[in-house]
Chains A and B, each alone.
Chain A
Amino acid sequence: MPEPGAAPGVRGVRRARGTRAYLRAIGAIVWKDMAAEFRSRELLGAMLVFALLVVLIFNFALELDAAARATVTSGVLWVTFAFAGTLGLNRSMSVEKDRGCLDGLLLAPVDRSALFFGKAIGNLVFMLVVEAIVLPIYSLLYNVNLLLPGMLGAILLGSLGYVVVGTLLAAMAVQARTRDVLLPILLFPVILPVLVAAVKATTGFLQGLETADILPWIQLMVAFDVIFTAVAFMVFDFVVEE
């Protein structure tokens, strides 16, 4: 039995459908992205190799000896994630645009925000997979234990904020003439606060600071995630409108 979840007739295209149907639509989009990636393996492979290359470059650019590592590890990690993330975001949206898939998705009788959440969750999964591989490798290479529970939480919160804004802006960037150069330029000034907070929280956990010292950064990330998820949910319609 359908529940009156979404408000009916907000923009004509939207239909009042049950929450379950909405969740199913999101799940279908995530599943589509996963299946496509599983078969082609072009996105994760590129992100991963790129991420490891960035770590390698940092190793020589910063001379990551034991003393330097204690202070710059989280910075190196987040720059790596942010750069690899842009690759993934651009790719995941331009695939939809180039082969006309986006038009197909827009024709589907589901709320457009379901499309946004589907793509965002897909992007988050890709980013977390890259992080799940880079973190142990970094731990192994530099003999530091990065797999602390608090730190993983901080990385999850940071990635969430990054991906939410990134998915929205990537959807705009791929529709512009200058798309490949545009996404990082649009994205980095907006995600600066979440990046700063993520770096600080990660450093805090690595250096074993008190929870009270780390808490403001966690709160900032939570605030960022909540605000921008809500905003992206509200404005995504305008970004994909034809």
Chain B
Amino acid sequence: MGASPRGLKFLSWASVLMFGVASYLALVYAPREAVMGDVQRVFYFHVSAGWVGGLAFLTAAVAGVGYLLRGRRSWDQVALSSVEIGIAFTFINIVTGSIWARPIWNTWWTWDPRLVTATVMLLLYAAYLLLRQGIDDPDRRARFGAVYAIVGFLSVPLTFLSIRIFRTIHPVVIGNNDPTAQGAFDMTPRMLQAFLFSLLTFTVIYLTLLWHRTRLQRLSEHVEERKLKLLGG
């Protein structure tokens, strides 16, 4: 296996470039929100990171199904890589959300459905990594990982629903808004452009990272195999 494939190189540069443009759009191009002020600008990356977190865990569950059906190691490599990226982005989502919530809700944290769901996801996939760590046999590790990724992903919407039945104060910027939500606003066209572009940017960053991480995983498994062969022979 040689240097990075050309597509990956292209994606890496595209990610860097797009992230620069997205930062400009979010920090300069988009107008300052009238009521909340500059802290609202966290919204563009906050929602995008949350989207990537969800997408990554969905990918892991789909890859889990793929692994159970086909049994090819590459499915498992994608699932593991996706979970790791998902954890990182969900964490970014929670931290940026807290930074916004401090001035707007006057608290770092509240037990709102979205906040709880994001936290439970974080714990769930931390458990996924612990499960994998505790199993030595690579086939079994992949199988159990796939099962847990599927079971865990299915429980996430139910967690959201179970807490949603309580009243929520989290604003819904896309779709219709609950009048009791605090910190809601309507997007101007420029805001919408900045928002959609950062969504796209984060999606591209996700794909780039996923490719890199999957490739790394494949390489490290190769190294492991060779090492075993060398020591055994």
Contact = CB atoms under 8 A, between A and B. Distances in A.
Interface of A: 165, 168-169, 172-173, 175-179, 182, 185-186, 189-194, 196-197, 200, 216-217, 220, 223-224, 227-228, 231-232, 235, 238-239, 241
A239 B68 CA distance: 11
B141 to A, nearest CB: 9
A239 B144 contact: yes
A175 B140 contact: yes
Interface in B88-145: 120, 123-124, 127, 130-131, 133-136, 140, 143-144
Given A176-B131, A235-B68, A238-B68, A193 B147 contact: no
Would you call the interface of chain A mostly helix, strand, loop, or mixed?
helix
Interface of B: 68, 120, 123-124, 127, 130-131, 133-136, 140, 143-144, 146-148, 150-152, 154-155, 158-159, 161-163, 165
Given A172-B131, A182-B131, A182-B134, A189 B120 contact: yes
A165 B158 CA distance: 14
Contacts of A177: 134-136
B130 A220 contact: no
Given A179-B134, A224-B155, 16 more contacts: A168-B151, A175-B135, A177-B136, A178-B130, A178-B133, A186-B130, A186-B148, A189-B120, A189-B123, A189-B127, A220-B162, A220-B165, A227-B154, A231-B150, A235-B147, A239-B147
Contacts of B134: 176-179, 182
Contacts of A182: 130-131, 134
Contact of A193 (B123, B135, B140, B155): B155
B117 to A, nearest CB: 10
A238 B67 CA distance: 11
Nearest to B126: A185
A41 to B, nearest CB: 30
